[in-house]
Amino acid sequence: MTNLTHLDDEGRARMVDVSAKSPTERAAIARGRLRCLPETLAQVLAGTAPKGSVIRTAELAGIMAAKRTAELIPLCHPLPLSKIAVRIEPDEALPGFQIEAEAKTVGVTGVEMEALTAASVACLTLFDMLKAVDRTMLVEGLQVVAKFGGQSGSWQR
């Protein structure tokens, strides 16, 4: 990569001008994991975690975060999201949780950052709500696994 689009000719940061692009349907899926002790997962599954319904709270936190992505990432365009869904599934083999976030819009730029923001904040919320019972937790594997639409077309990991 020799041409960084977020820098002008003088090396100053800028938001890329996307005004000439036509709106298209766009979507992205991001995933991450939170590893924890088997005992921590068992507590969540039994509904006895000290802070209550950690999975549903983390899913909601991810949705809320996706809507604020442009406020968190300096050069990210604000987008009208048509869908944001966050799903957290317990995984006893990990042990921990698998997190998936899907973002959709009809716009001139992609929603990868919104999906990544949703997945990462969902992971962080799980961590926050469980840190009192497990200091060994690890957030890992945050990545875009698919994107659809736009000039560059579809892509899947």
**Which active-site residues does the annotation give?**
128
Return the axis-axis angle of helices 112-130 and 54-66, rounded to nearest 10°: 150
Indicate if the alpha-carbon torsion angle 22, 23, 29, 32 is positive or negative.
positive
Nearest to 157 by CA among 126, 123, 116, 124: 116
Secondary structure letter of residue 9 according to DSSP: T
Helix (H), strand (E) at residue 30: strand 24-35
